[in-house]
Structure 1
Amino acid sequence: MELSELAFKRLDRNTNASDYIDWAVGLLYEGSDSQSVAMLASFDLEKEPDAEQVEYYFKLCVSDLGIKLPSQDEWYEALLEYTSDICKKMVSGSLDLKDGAYELLSIAEDNNDPYMLTIWIDLLRDLSEASHPLKVDNIFFNSSLNLNDYDACICLTAQQYISLSSISLPEKFPWVWMCSKCNYVTDLNTWTTSLTACCPNCTGVSTLKNMRYFEHRDHYLSNIQLKTPN
């Protein structure tokens, strides 16, 4: 188990002793020489490890390794780190793309569909409905992707999600419209076939972009990279 997963589940009080032990065992395999990690991992030999003892040694590990665990106030940031790590596994090939996408969907459903995970809800809905392109009520937020290439769509979305999770984003992203000219942000309804609108702040024509659409998020990331000094 990765630390980001353990830290997030700990905030949700959704961990058990075996989660902490598996994490410590993983660190040993990676070459950790921490005595507290070794002690925590040793509980793997016990049939019914004592939960209080496991918690005690986990806290020792946190102290010894200088780990800063997220607080309840950092729940959303912890969620992004956890889900971004899942995406990294998908991109690297250590996690099957489809399995990873549905794991992210499950996390979204278990946590009342957090804003960023809408990206995965939208993608999987689009992929499912791509076989019915003539339905007039369909809204495809990922039509700029080849929806007939399931794996490519998931991989590209995972890469984008990793990049988005590493930067500061407007509240409610991607349920927002952002102006490419003046950076104005509004949370007007994004469930629409409209990709762009006129900006009420700078009056730019079609400069207000609906961030539910894959291509607009991609353009947003590209612009940030262009503005970032080498």
Structure 2
Amino acid sequence: MTLDEIWGLKFLGKPYQDECILWAEEKVIAGCGEQNILILASLGMDASPDGTEVEYFFGQALSEQGESQPDRDAGLKNYSLCLCHQIVNQQRDPESTAKLLADINRHESYNTSIYSLWNLVVEDLTLLYCGHSAYENSELTLENKDRFIDKLARHFIVLQNNNVPSDFLLLSVCKSCHKLVRTQYRALPGENPLHELLIKVGLKQPRHATVCMSCGSLLLTHLYSNEQRENALGMLGK
């Protein structure tokens, strides 16, 4: 049990007292003899440990260890990285851990954050179990789900370690600007003066398309795949 897992559960509003006791028990097994660690570990012998007591001695144990609670964003990031590393190291079941990672996005409502990648996988798995095809991840099947989730976990670690912005999934590579850009779906001007006039008087509907907000180009590559996203990392900050 790691502190990253405990903070993740706490920030998501889930019970975490049992994990605090397990953390202390593992410390004792490893040879730690600090008083508050020993007291916290001993609470595991109670059938129903008092939550307030657990939290108090957990706080005292943290002080003894020189540890402190991180801020929320850092705590959730570290929690997600911990879960992904456990998938890669085959320490957790891939599918159930994908659901834990999806909970971060659902709980925080970060609909455009990289955590939403896990929501899409979980939603596609639901479709597959209902006999449908995956919608967002067309390569995902029930037969390859563990390998697919492992690959996504490795990719997610790369994204987190590169500190991508919260709107990273909404960005696109502009082939005209040669930059990573924000885009906008908007009406296009008429193809010629006559078309423009017909649009203005309401006799012709304008075409709409997603364009680069920097130069207006239509030549965009969206970040839909692991490969496209990792290729775009080198353009961050340019």
Q: TM-score, normalised by structure 2?
A: 0.69
Q: Tell me which residue corresponds to 1:170.
A: 165
> Matched residues in 2 for 1:8 and 1:24: separation?
17
> Matched residues in 2 for 1:87 and 1:54: separation?
28
Compare CA radii of gyration and give the structure with the larger one. Answer: 2
5 Å-filtered alignment, 1:1-230, equals 1-15=1-15, 17-71=17-71, 75-112=72-109, 115-126=113-124, 140=136, 142-143=137-138, 145=139, 147=141, 149-174=144-169, 176-179=170-173, 181-186=178-183, 199-202=212-215, 206=219, 208-221=220-233, 223=234
Task: Give, as a single letter, the amino acid of the residue that structure 1 aligns with 2:229.
Answer: R
> Matched residues in 2 for 1:15 and 1:4: separation?
14
Q: Tell me which residue corresponds to 1:192.
A: none
SS in 2 for 1:8: helix
Q: Tell me which residue corresponds to 1:193.
A: none
Gap change, CA 1:172 and 1:28, over 3 Å in 2: farther
Task: Give, as a single letter, the amino acid of the residue that structure 2 aligns with 1:161.
Answer: F
> Matched residues in 2 for 1:38 and 1:209: separation?
56
Q: TM-score, normalised by structure 1?
A: 0.71
Gap change, CA 1:149 and 1:12, over 3 Å in 2: closer
> Matched residues in 2 for 1:127 and 1:50: separation?
38
What are structure 1's unaligned runs of at least 5 residues?
Answer: 190-196
> What whole-Å deviation, never above 9, does each CA across 1:31-54 have from its counterpart, x for those lacking one?
444332222111112233333332
RMSD: 3.4
> Matched residues in 1 for 2:157 and 2:58: separation?
28
State the 1:67 CA deviation.
Answer: 1.5
Identity, % of aligned pairs? 23
What are structure 2's unaligned runs of at least 5 residues?
Answer: 187-209
Q: Tell me which residue corresponds to 2:191.
A: none
8 Å CA contact 1:20–1:54 kept in 2: the answer is yes
Task: Give, as a single letter, the amino acid of the residue that structure 2 aligns with 1:179.
Answer: V
> Matched residues in 2 for 1:17 and 1:91: separation?
26
State the 1:204 CA deviation.
Answer: 6.2
Gap change, CA 1:149 and 1:35, over 3 Å in 2: same
